[in-house]
Amino acid sequence: MSAHRHVPDRVGHLGSLVETFLPWTGVAVPLLLLGALVRRSATAAVAVLLPAVTWCALFGGTLLDKRSGGGDLTVVSHNVNEHNPRPARTARALAAAGADVVALEEMSGTAVPEYAGALASTHPYHSVQGSVGLWSTYPIADARPVDISPWVRAMRATVRTPKGPVAFYVAHLMSVRVTASSGFATGARDAAARRLGAALRAETLPRTVLLGDLNGTFDDRALAAVTSRLRSAQAEAGAGFGFTWPAAFPVARIDQILVRGVDPRSSWTLPATDSDHLPVAAGLKL
């Protein structure tokens, strides 16, 4: 747990795999304790304290409720699943969350009009680029795709809030696979993360928000091109891990709200929709 940064990533991207599910290493603690009790070994029971203390040092603060009020802007992000059978119902559920800005990822082309129609009355300004889109209660300008893959999976736009412009990025990095031949296959995702990181590095507006499905956790070293430039709203202002995938039994937070130049005041997950991901939300102080 404490040396996860030293797990090699060259062979099968094992380091990324470990970091994706790092909080779950704590499951070993009660299993080790059970083994100590079965053996009736005081030495083994004392030895279990080491991984227990290590896990608490790494993640104990995550379990605290760090949410507070005072945000100026509420944002929501959701991978809606291209096979979502009820796009309009999903969009209405997101609109009911009271967000000022809503980002959607993995939209199918045929479903875009349904999302747009369901959000039109609450979020009159929007831009769709490829399979991602941004809806806002405030005017949107300078919307354009961001080149991270052979097809459009990311965009950048300026949202003109009452407190000034904010650069919004919406991104859906490539999926990862676990195979017998290549291990944790992340090559396409990692390349897209590097391109997205370059776009963030070139951003001139001081206030930046990234919403999207990164197909990786904030701890995953392979996403450092992105995560080294931004802060996690969930880590700073959430309660718990905020796992988002899969929706039926979330085990990892791969859907992110990352910021620079703004202060997260709260972060949470929304109830499940007809997608295989949970939506995420955050209150931001501009």
| Residue 184 near residue 13 (C-beta atoms within 8 A) | yes
Same domain, 106 and 24: no
pLDDT in tens, 29-75: 988 888 888 988 888 888 889 899 999 999 999 999 999 988 999 99
pLDDT in tens, 134-190: 999 999 999 999 999 999 999 999 999 999 999 999 999 999 877 766 677 899 999
Same domain, 151 and 106: yes
| Residue 259 near residue 101 (C-beta atoms within 8 A) | no
Give this prediction's pTM. Answer: 0.93
Rounded Cα–Cα distance for residues 71 and 84 (Å): 31
Same domain, 92 and 199: yes
Residue 167 lies in a domain: yes
Instruction: Please list the alpha-helical segments (H only) found in 238-286.
Output: none
Is the torsion defined by CA of 6, 188, 262, 203 positive or negative?
positive
E-strand ranges in 114-225 read: 125-129, 132-136, 140-145, 154-161, 164-172, 177-179, 183-185, 208-213
Same domain, 109 and 246: yes
Closest by CA to 87, choosing from 48, 131, 47, 55, is 131
Same domain, 27 and 90: no
Same domain, 198 and 125: yes
Q: What mean pLDDT is predicted for residues 253-259?
A: 98
Q: What mean pLDDT is predicted for residues 105-112?
A: 98
The per-residue pLDDT for 120 is 97
Same domain, 56 and 91: no
Domain with 227, as residue range(s), is 73-285
pLDDT in tens, 187-235: 999 999 999 999 999 999 999 999 999 999 999 999 999 999 999 999 9
Rounded Cα–Cα distance for residues 178 and 137 (Å): 40
Bridge partners for 269 per DSSP = 280
Among 3-7, 101-105, 196-200, 222-226, name the one with the lowest average pLDDT: 3-7
Rounded Cα–Cα distance for residues 126 and 113 (Å): 12
The per-residue pLDDT for 47 is 85
